[in-house]
Amino acid sequence: MIKKLKKILKRRGLGKKVKRFKPAMIAAGVLAFVVAGTTIVSLFIRGYRPDIKKGGLFPTGLLAAISLPKGALVYVDDKLVTATDDTITLSPGEYQLKLIKDGYLPWEKKALVKKEVVFQTDAHLFRSAPDLTTLTNTGAINPALSPDGAKIAYAVASSSAEIKNGLWVSRIDQGGLNLFRSNTHQLVAPVSFLDWSKAVLIWSPDSAEVLAIFGPLESPSSVYRLPADRLTPADQLRNEVLQLSFTLSGWQTQKQEQLTRDLEKLPKELAQIASESAQLVTFSPHQKKIFYLASREASLPEKLLPHPPARSTEIEERNIKSGGIYVYDLEQDTNFFIIGAEKIGLDPEKITNQENLLESYLAQTQTSLYWLSTNNHLVFLEDNQAKVVEADATNKQTVFAGPFENGYVFPSPDGNKLIILTSLHPSLPANLYGVTIR
């Protein structure tokens, strides 16, 4: 057949032309193959799969099952399909996902899979049996977490070596808490005329200073302002009770100026609500979400920001009510109700207390509600249990059950541990402990 075709072309004088155009024909064929291959790969990446029965390609969605740690079993509608980290194709529709790994609490979420869209789990699994590590052994009284989350101030009053009594500051390392003791220094040594264990401790907004306040909050008897990075000798202590209102007013101004700068990152309508109808506005570590306590009713308009293709399908609450804690997502334009303030010991009236600036400042700075470094979890104490919940109000889980002393629960900067105050023996003072939850 080929020989006959060559003879025909030769008779008609086309053989040389074909030979001359052969490289161009090959190049065109290669180009066509590359284009076709690229198109097929592109369609495959977007989720298209061949349909043998009907012929052609049909669109699917992609489920990127990702967890930390890896190796969790992935169930889709109660059927085991794979393990993390992996990507699978699913027909468009709604599915119930569950991730299970030995030694960790299960993770569940509803997923709405859309054609040509990737639904990503990004599941952070928490330990079902957390480790407990001793951080202090001399007792820790009235601990207070600094605004930057990197330091804890506390009093010691029961040490066998009296010189160790007084006020202390311990720095929490990003990499963990194993260097906790070496990062501890004394703020002030014991003095005969003050019992530091009776002091209420308050941090400045820049985490550079600590106020030690004695007496009732309505009318303190003495106030000492201490730099947080060094020891203040006893002969340099000065009672600044008369300057307390001035100091707190200045710190409030610093906090408000920082909040004003942060609110510029929000849509105009949300920024207005946050400044007029919300309290405790706190950005997540990566500035992508905020939690806030609603101080009065308000309504968030729809579509404050363009919606991404993969957006949470959980039920939102855009009509906010006073006393509720909400999370707004700056990437997805979603707003979720998390929990009522009263359930975690927050008193909105104290936060807005205009008559007692000290009580108001304390209520704002010692909130018992914190972001984890995951950027997607809040941690708080409820019913004497340390709990975490995702920013869309799903996967609310108990990661550690008390006892807790005075409700103190702080997250470590790396998000892998909680720092709690508790006593493991009735005759011993309460100490700080690290609870490994991830």
| Same domain (yes/no): 324, 237 | yes
> What is the CATH classification number for the domain harbouring 84?
2.60.40.10
What confidence tens digit (pLDDT) does each residue in 331-385 have?
999 999 999 999 998 888 877 776 788 888 888 888 789 999 999 999 999 988 9
Residue 85 lies in a domain: yes
Quote the tokens at residue 39.
């198109």
What confidence tens digit (pLDDT) does each residue in 260-284 have?
999 988 888 889 988 888 999 999 9
| Same domain (yes/no): 107, 158 | no
> What is the reported pLDDT for 341?
92
| Same domain (yes/no): 247, 172 | yes
Q: CA-CA distance, 221 to 311, in Å (whole number)?
A: 54
Question: Residue 171: beta bridge partners?
Answer: 151
Mean of the per-residue pLDDT values for the chain?
85
Over residues 2-24, mean pLDDT: 53
Phi and psi, residue 339, nearest 5°? -170, 160
Helices in 228-356 by DSSP H: which ranges?
244-263, 268-276, 348-351
| Same domain (yes/no): 67, 172 | no
Q: Is the pLDDT of residue 39 over 50?
A: no
Q: Which has the minimum average pLDDT: 156-165, 282-291, 381-390? A: 156-165
> What is the reported pLDDT for 178?
41
Domain residues for the domain of 312 are 131-263+292-436
| Same domain (yes/no): 220, 343 | yes
Residue 268 lies in a domain: no
| Same domain (yes/no): 142, 74 | no
| Same domain (yes/no): 315, 201 | yes
In the listed set 124, 148, 169, which residue is the last one of a domain according to the structure? 124
Q: Are 38 and 51 in contact (CB under 8 A)?
A: no
> Among candidates 312, 348, 342, which has minimal Cα distance to 327?
312
Residue 156 lies in a domain: yes
What DSSP string runs through 155-183?
EE---SSGGG-EEEEEEPBTTBSTTTGGG
What confidence tens digit (pLDDT) does each residue in 388-409 have?
999 999 999 999 987 888 888 8
> Among candidates 145, 253, 142, 147, which has minimal Cα distance to 207?
147
Q: Are 292 and 328 in contact (CB under 8 A)?
A: yes
C-beta neighbour count of 62 within 10 angstroms? 20
What are the DSSP E strand ranges found in 57-150?
57-58, 61-65, 67-68, 73-76, 79-83, 86-90, 93-100, 107-113, 118-120, 123-124, 131-134, 141-145
Q: Who's near 144: CB < 8 A, 6+ residues apart?
A: 152, 153, 154, 201, 202, 203, 210, 366
Q: Which residue has the higher pLDDT, 164 or 384?
A: 384
Residue 179's pLDDT band (cuts 50, 70, 90): very low
Tell me which DSSP letter residue 104 carries.
B
Q: Are 82 and 88 in contact (CB under 8 A)?
A: yes
Residue 411 lies in a domain: yes
In the listed set 124, 154, 172, which residue is the last one of a domain according to the structure? 124
Query: What would you report as the CA-atom Rg of the chain, rounded to the nearest whole angstrom?
Result: 31
> What is the reported pLDDT for 117?
86
> Among candidates 325, 411, 340, 419, which has minimal Cα distance to 375?
411
Q: Are 331 and 392 in contact (CB under 8 A)?
A: no
| Same domain (yes/no): 26, 140 | no
> What is the reported pLDDT for 180?
46
% residues pLDDT > 70 (the chain): 83
Q: Are 112 and 89 in contact (CB under 8 A)?
A: no
> What is the reported pLDDT for 266?
86
* pTM to 2 decimal places: 0.83
Q: Who's near 6: CB < 8 A, 6+ residues apart?
A: 15
C-beta neighbour count of 156 within 10 angstroms? 21
What confidence tens digit (pLDDT) does each residue in 82-110 have?
999 999 999 999 999 999 999 999 999 99
% residues pLDDT > 90 (the chain): 52
Tell me which DSSP letter residue 302 carries.
S
In the listed set 124, 142, 170, which residue is the last one of a domain according to the structure? 124
Q: CA-CA distance, 354 to 334, in Å (whole number)?
A: 32
Count how many domains the chain has. 3
| Same domain (yes/no): 329, 397 | yes
Name the burial class of residue 268, with classes exposed (0-12), middle (13-18) and buried (19+) by CB atoms within 10 angstroms of its CB: exposed
Residue 272 lies in a domain: no
Length of the chain: 438
Q: CA-CA distance, 173 to 349, in Å (whole number)?
A: 35
**Cis ω before 85 (30° cut-off from 0):** yes
| Same domain (yes/no): 67, 22 | no
Over residues 199-207, mean pLDDT: 95
| Same domain (yes/no): 159, 110 | no
> What is the reported pLDDT for 215?
93
Residue 128's pLDDT band (cuts 50, 70, 90): very high
Q: CA-CA distance, 108 to 104, in Å (whole number)?
A: 13
Name the burial class of residue 116, with classes exposed (0-12), middle (13-18) and buried (19+) by CB atoms within 10 angstroms of its CB: middle
Phi and psi, residue 133, nearest 5°? -125, 135
Residue 17 lies in a domain: yes
What confidence tens digit (pLDDT) does each residue in 292-343 have?
999 999 999 999 988 888 888 899 999 999 999 999 999 999 999 999 999 9
Q: Who's near 49: CB < 8 A, 6+ residues apart?
A: 57, 58, 60, 89
Q: Is the pLDDT of residue 27 over 90?
A: no
| Same domain (yes/no): 226, 251 | yes
